Amino acid sequence: MIGYRLNQTNEGYLKKSEENKTKNDKERLDSYYKRNYRDYFGYLEGNLKDKKEELTESEQGILDWLEKNK
């Protein structure tokens, strides 16, 4: 009987973990970017803001990311 309850509990944890996997993966990736790319993107920011021609999608994405993560 105890083994059955433990199995049900484990299945509940696994199900909840699977449901939150996408959200948790996104949070981990965002945290990684904030720790590892903030300085690099900040370095690029000056060059991108001074750029005379139209920004590429990637360049605009970098500026948007920096604005969102200040």
- Mean pLDDT for the stretch of residues 36-45: 87
Confidence of residue 32 (pLDDT cuts 50, 70, 90): very high
SS (H, E, C) the chain: CHHHHHHHHHHHHHHHHHHHHHHHHHHHHHHHHHHHHHHHHHHHHHHHHHCCCCCCHHHHHHHHHHHHCC
Percent of the chain with pLDDT over 90: 24
Per domain, the residue ranges of the chain are 2-68
**CA atoms of 32 and 25, how far apart (whole Å):** 11
Tell me, yes or no, if the pTM score tops 0.85: no
Task: Give the closest residue to 59 by CA, choosing from 44, 39, 70, 69.
Answer: 44
Mean pLDDT of 36-41: 87
